[in-house]
Amino acid sequence: MMNFTPQQERAAASFEQNTILSAGAGAGKTRVLTERIARLVAHLEEEGLGHQILAITFTRKATGEMKSRIEAALGPQPHRLRVQTIDGFCGSLLSIFAPELEINGKFRQMEEGESLRLQREVYGALLPEIFHELSHLTELFANLGEMEGQLLNLYGELRTLGALGKVPFSPPPPVEKVPGELLEKILNFPAKSNTNFAKYRNSPEFQAFLKDPQPRDPALLAVGELIRGLKSHTQERDELLELLGELEGSREEENRVLYGELTLFLERFHRAYGKKKAELAAMDFADLLEGALKLLEEPHTKKSVQELYQYIFIDEFQDTNPLQIRLLKSLLEGAVGFVVGDRNQSIYGFRGADDSAMDALKELNFEPMELTVNFRGHPQLMDFINGVFEGEWEDYLPVEGKGQGQCTVEAVAFDGEEPLLQEALWTGERVLEKDPGRTYGLLFRKKRHMEVYETAFRQMGIPFVNSVGQGFLEKRPIGDLILFLKYLAGDPVATYGFYLSPFVGLDDDGARQLFREGTLPPGREEAARRLRDYEELFSGQIHHPSCHQLVRDILYKTGYLNYVAEVYGREGLRLCYHFLSQVWEGEGSLLEFLEALEEEGDLPLPAPEPEGGVIQMMTIHGAKGLEFDTVFLGDLNGALPGDRARINYSPRQGFGFQSDIQYNFRKNREEMAARSQEEEKRIAYVAMTRARTELYFMKGPGREGTIPKLLEGHVDWQEAQGRPIQGSSGEGEIHFQRRRELPPREKPPVTSATALLREEGSPNFWREKSAGNPRLLGNLFHAYASHATATMRAQVLARARELSGEDLRYLEELMDRYDRIEGEVLGTEVAFSVELDGMILEGYFDQIRRKDGKLYLLDFKTGHAGARSPYMEQYRDQVGLYVRAFEKIHEKPIIGIVYTLADGVSTTIG
């Protein structure tokens, strides 16, 4: 039994009672949830009861973590316990009840990317019809791309809210005459005589209106536009605008035609999209939720569904949207529920998450409990955060910190030239001053300006990982590679993008002419040469039996890795190597790989994990669930993207249109702005609670963002400036250069130790044969080596089910031998890139350790042959190259070690 605080013990022990647990950052909620499940399972087994248990999470990563923790506590997962994502649960439910829903029980679930591509395909097929029949709707938008994006976004939003097909036209309020109060306010408004408003009030148009006032006269409505921007007499202005708004609202009737066309589009699109999915026997995420909800809201199936599970656990409940809340609430009506969440961390409003989700279960008699101790956060840091938010939220529960070490909270302002560069330099200086074993998170509210920080860190020699992005294939270097592969496969859409990519480097005009006419404009000789080279290098490669070899050739023979190293640095190289490994695992021809990629929708992105001495750059949303010793919050005064929607929606007003009459549109926008303002505070809370002991706020000049406003009265902003980097780029300057094309071919080639030492026709010692799956075994071991803890061991073993019994036992032996290696771990899987012997050598150092004041570079070999491996000479050469690379980069001596885990022998190199 775990050692719990009284709060944790109470939550874990009450497994026969409906409980909603509010748990802040670092409060140990997953330990409590796991312990509660373990005690429940033990109780059911002791009583001989056969009740079924369901645990629901919202991401695959969270599901894997929960499974591994439960298995670490209980051993192999009990048959009565099922841990699933919410879409996985809904999918299994629909498979069971397919006859009742009259659907194909062998459907497959589409990934988000595949779903969006199919929506675009359906939309494209409907486009001629849209232009022919929905002319008023099309006139709202500036261009085709804007119309497609906004209509599809609206469709997704309505499905998330469960409102598709349920939006009535909002009847306008009756206005029979112009209120005398309104006219009086207009005539007596204390505007200066030189304002446009005062001049208009004396104009012939307005004077004519006064002689014959009509409620919907354009002369009256024009007043609102003229006074809206006035900075003085704000109270009188707002009162007048309120009255004018009511008058304008009476004209919403004029938007009825837009409402009708939008409704017609949504109906036709939903029907066509549904038909296409049925042909493919596929469902998207919303289909799964809608189908499961239908089962739980139909009287003849509701009881059958509820009887499947008697105990239900739900994690991260604050991230649920209205459709999910309805589904889970109905499911919980027939079970004992344990729901975990934190309203203060509800930050996914852009996905439809409802911040009131934690209040939705009150009527089900759920007992509220709280966890208010952050075990890793420093007490002083938690006191600071409490002081900021106690004044913002009436129901805020102060969090007690239990972390150790020195605490720092500092706010710095950069008002000189290039403030973002100053931020980056200052951040880098702080990292260089500190213990290399600390973990660092550099968090941003938005995604832009990343290259400023990347370039500074790269030239300061500070390792970093940029984890910003939605998916692996959306990462720019990988997107370029996919375009090249699809170009080789003859995809016309990808071909146009390929012409614009760094591989060819054409501008829009050049790409358009080449795509349409097959010729290049004058002055594009370099692009023409590149295309000839590609034709020579890759002619016929579409049928190459190994897509892995093809990708490898693209990376090394075109100079693309040179480009990635220069523009994207360590993070770009990491992504390219990861892509190459994923292609290897899906070994086959180019067409087979692209077909598999189309079905999967995306490839797994290497998960960002805090790593000592490495700056993890990510958005605040991306950092949720992670913790760092030190957190830098950067670019705090940058403006957020504005709302460019031409159509919006709220349950209160229905649809609003940015047309001549915008009453509903403005009301919806005001409502959305109020919700967004509250969510920005929660985003700030999440950002601050990612830090364990050190928290730095950084801002430049300009409009203040949400976090600086929250900090008023809590911090004193100190002016700061980052020092220039000497000897790294000319006279200490940082130069930013974004190329549209690859660097000159004359540059040293980029290669890896693997490629350099492999001779044509030589044995592939990188894939030694064993009884089962050697690559999986090696990957699992290296995952364990990255964080050698009991939790990681449990996770690795949970993912090792594909291994044979013999290989599984061997994996455990490897981990045991690893645990006995001596020395302090300074870094694991450390990426490098260095010019060596006329070429750029790059790759990863398996591990850097320090023992007795000396540095050691360890390269782990997991094959069965051990130190007697026939490839030992090649291993020696490989690690010898790594030693030379390390010493050139860091100008420090290091001892190379080939560690063969099969026999636990360490072989010293050099």
pLDDT tens for each residue of 287-301 = 999 999 999 988 889
* Paired residues of 832 in beta bridges: 843
**pLDDT tens-digit profile of 381-390?**
999 999 999 9
Cα–Cα distance measured from residue 580 to residue 583, given in angstroms and rounded to the nearest whole number: 5
Least confident range of 258-272, 616-630, 701-715, 781-795: 781-795
User: What's the pLDDT at 173?
Assistant: 63
**Residue 599: CA count within 13 A, CB half-sphere:** 9
Task: Give the tens place of pLDDT for each residue, 369-379.
Answer: 999 999 889 99
Nearest to 749 by CA among 570, 879, 531, 558: 558
Per-residue confidence band for 727, with pLDDT thresholds at 50, 70 and 90: very low
Determine contact, residues 618/692, Cβ cutoff 8 Å: no
- Is the entire prediction scored with pTM above 0.85? no
Report the distance separating Cα 693 and Cα 722, nearest Å. 23
171-185, 352-366, 750-764: the lowest-pLDDT one: 750-764
- Give the tens place of pLDDT for each residue, 110-163: 877 778 888 988 998 998 888 888 889 988 988 888 899 899 999 999 999 999
> Mind listing the pLDDT tens digit for each residue in 492-543?
767 878 888 888 888 878 888 888 788 888 888 888 888 888 888 887 777 6
Q: Cα separation of 204 and 210, whole Å?
A: 10
What is the torsion angle, in degrees rounded to the nearest 10, for the CA atoms of residue 148, residue 153, residue 156 and residue 160?
-170
- Burial class (CB within 10 angstroms; exposed 0-12, middle 13-18, buried 19+) of 488: buried
Lowest mean pLDDT among 134-148, 478-492, 715-729: 715-729
Alpha-carbon gap, residue 94 to 92, rounded angstroms: 5
State the pLDDT confidence band at 172, using cuts at 50, 70 and 90: low
Residue 396 neighbours by CB under 8 Å, 6+ apart: 344, 386, 389, 390
CA distances from residue 7 to 11, 249, 360, 364 in whole angstroms, order as listed: 6, 52, 23, 22
> 744 or 866: whose pLDDT is higher?
866
Give the chain's mean pLDDT: 81
Mean pLDDT value of segment 853-869: 84
Give mean pLDDT, residues 470-487: 74
The DSSP letter of residue 199 is H
pLDDT at 407 over 70: yes
Helix axes 547-557, 569-585, angle to 10 degrees: 160
- Helices and strands (H, E) in the chain, number of each type: 36, 25
**Tokens 């229905």 correspond to what residue?**
654
With 50 as the cut, is the pLDDT of residue 213 above it? Answer: yes
Is the CB of residue 502 less than 8 Å from the CB of residue 561?
Answer: no
Measure the CA–CA gap between 809 and 67, rounded to whole angstroms: 20
Q: Give the distance from CA 426 to its chain's centroid.
A: 27
Contact between 566 and 493 (Cβ < 8 Å): no
Amino acid found at 580: L
Mind giving me the DSSP string for 606-656? PPP---TT-EEEEEHHHHTT--EEEEEE--TTPPPPP---SEEEETTTEEE
Compute the distance between CA of residue 178 and CA of residue 513 in angstroms, rounded to an integer: 59
pLDDT single digits (tens) 77-108:
666 788 888 988 999 899 888 888 888 777 88
Beta bridge partners of 841: 751, 834
**Nearest CA to 739 among 576, 464, 500?**
500
| E strands present in 390-518 | 400-401, 408-413, 440-444, 464-466
Distance, in Å, from the CA atom of 497 to the CA atom of 482, rounded to the nearest integer, reads 10
Distance CA 806, CA 814 (A): 13
Q: Tokens 């967004």 appear where?
A: 676
Between the alpha carbon of residue 909 and those of residues 857, 878, 883, the distances in Å are 10, 10, 9
What is the Cα–Cα distance from 136 to 143, expressed in whole angstroms? 14
Nearest to 349 by CA among 320, 372, 323: 320
Give alpha helix (H) positions in 461-568. Answer: 476-488, 492-500, 508-517, 525-538, 547-557, 560-567
Three-state SS for 696?
A: strand
Helix, coil or strand: residue 385: helix
For Cα atoms 88, 92, 93, give the angle at the middle one, nearest 5 degrees. Answer: 115
26-35, 220-229, 412-421, 686-695: segment of lowest average pLDDT: 220-229
Q: Give the Cα separation of 885 and 879 in Å (integer).
A: 10
Contact (Cβ atoms closer than 8 angstroms) between residue 567 and residue 576: no
- Return the SS3 of 884: helix
- For residues 498 and 475, what is the distance between their CA atoms, to the nearest angstrom? 15
| CA gap 691, 697 in Å, rounded | 12
Which one has a higher pLDDT value, 721 or 670? 670
pLDDT of the residue at 586 = 46
Beta strands 108-109; 282-283: pairing state: parallel
**SS3 category, 559:** coil
How many angstroms separate the CA atoms of 15 and 10, rounded? 9
654-657 vs 53-57, strand pairing mode: unpaired
Alpha-carbon Rg for the chain, nearest whole angstrom, is 31
The continuous run of DSSP H or E covering 638 comes out as none
Please check the confidence at residue 446 and state whether its pLDDT lies above 70: yes
- Residue of 220 and 450 predicted with greater confidence: 450
Kindly give the pairing relationship between strand 408-413 and strand 718-719: parallel
Task: Tell the burial category of 498 from Cβ atoms under 10 Å away from its Cβ (0-12, 13-18, 19+).
Answer: buried
Helices 285-297, 299-306: crossing angle, 10 deg rounding: 100
Token couple for 169: 């036209």
Q: Is the pLDDT of residue 657 over 90?
A: yes
Residue 27 CA: distances (Å) to CA of 32, 369, 685, 768: 9, 13, 15, 44
Helix axis angle, 560-567 relative to 569-585, nearest 10°?
Answer: 140
DSSP 78: P
Per residue in 795-845, pLDDT (tens digit) is 778 767 667 778 888 888 889 999 999 998 887 777 677 777 666 777 778
Binning pLDDT at 50, 70 and 90, where does residue 462 land? Answer: confident
Which pLDDT does position 289 carry in this prediction? 94
CA dihedral 123→471→780→565, nearest 10 degrees, is 130
Q: What is the share, in percent, of the chain residues with pLDDT greater than 90?
A: 26
Residue 323 predicted with pLDDT over 80:
yes
Tally of CB atoms within 10 A around 591: 16
Written as one string, the DSSP assignment of 855-869 is EEEEEEE-STTGGG-
- For residue 328 the two structure tokens come to 């889970």
- Average pLDDT of span 565-569: 72
Q: CB of 217 within 8 A of CB of 247?
A: no
Torsion of CA 673, 678, 683, 684, to 10 degrees: 110
Tokens of 844: 């990863």
pLDDT at residue 19 is higher than 90: yes
> Which pLDDT value is given to residue 776?
67
Q: What tokens does 305 get?
A: 């569904």
